Structure 1
Amino acid sequence: MDRTFVMIKPDGVQRGIIGAIISRLEAKGLKLVAAKLTMLPEEKVMEHYAEHVEKPFFPSLKAYVMSGPVLTMVWEGRGSVAIVRRIVGATNPAEAAPGTIRGDMGMETGKNVIHASDSDESAAREIAIHFSADELVDYTRIDEPVLYE
């Protein structure tokens, strides 16, 4: 099954919108297989954003991502990378469509609430940075209501 990496950034955690974000992903039919509330150490930030280290915006990005707790997650589902990217919306919240997470909850590119893998390769790399194989939980999602007698 396809997997993707999602991180609710410090502004999303501090604003108390974790539940709203998770609800959107679950409602779509994706399955949460790992989650961790953590403060990212510098070495993980450097590894996660390796392609941006030499860019002029990287020092502020690094400071921002390390400024508070983040919720790192792994989501599973057919085509999960593309599906999550559509739900998340454009990087710049001012350009993100209404109905997307960034379009509805983000205010600026520098604090855009959420990160989502942009390819299957990035997802595999990012999952390996933040989770060990034994932290990924395998279970069957039940989409039908359970009836109790």
Structure 2
Amino acid sequence: MNEVERTLVIIKPDAVVRGLIGEIISRFEKKGLKIVGMKMIWIDRELAEKHYEEHKGKPFFEALIDYITKAPVVVMVVEGRYAVEVVRKMAGATDPKDAAPGTIRGDYGLDIGDAIYNVIHASDSKESAEREISLYFKPEEIYEYCKAADWFYREKKQAKC
């Protein structure tokens, strides 16, 4: 079965100011995932609170809002087979000290005393992905297209993209 999904990825402020945008995008593309929507924005408090609404009332909520609104971010809609699961595995554990080497957070996340900077957000389920994508993208900002190699990996009977 071909479970093509879409998921939301946010390259967080710490990754943006450290110049890691290209490196992170490159990892997804090298994995064969497709970027079907992307833009740089500065998340305001209202949008941050909508995004992280499930954490409202938790002790770390204000720090999370401050972190995500501190500098610009890059938001992306990433598409591919089992994209939610694949992107989560590539991102690694939320806490960089627990993230395996080779994952994005394992390689680039920082634990600085009482704060962690984990460089990336990745939707945790298909349902979350749908909700989060709708917060950041209008339908007309998400594009359908064929990558150059798409034809190569298709079955012969579906050779055209």
* Residues 83-122 of structure 1 mapped to structure 2, 5 A cutoff: 83-108=86-111, 110-122=116-128
| Alignment partner, residue 67 of structure 1 | 70
Alignment of 1:131-142 (within 5 A): 131-142=137-148
Structure holding more strand per residue: 2
User: Following superposition, which runs of at least 4 residues in structure 1 exceed 4 angstroms of deviation?
Assistant: none
TM-score (norm 1): 0.94
Q: Structure 2 matches for 1:73-84, cutoff 5 A?
A: 73-84=76-87
Structure 1 counterpart SS, 2:134: helix
Q: Deviations over 1:57-91 (max 9, x none)?
A: 01011011111000000000010000000100000
Of structures 1 and 2, the larger Rg is shown by: 2
Could you tell me which of 23, 28, 39 is aligned with 1:36?
Answer: 39
Q: Which structure's relative contact order is higher, taking Cα pairs within 8 Å and 6+ residues apart?
A: 1
Residue 139 of structure 1 aligns to a residue in which SS?
coil
In the alignment, is the contact (CA less than 8 A) between 1:91 and 1:102 conserved in 2? Answer: yes
Give the share of equivalent positions with the same residue, in percent: 52
In structure 2, list runs of 5 or more residues that go unmatched.
151-161
RMSD value, Cα: 1.0
How many aligned positions are there? 144
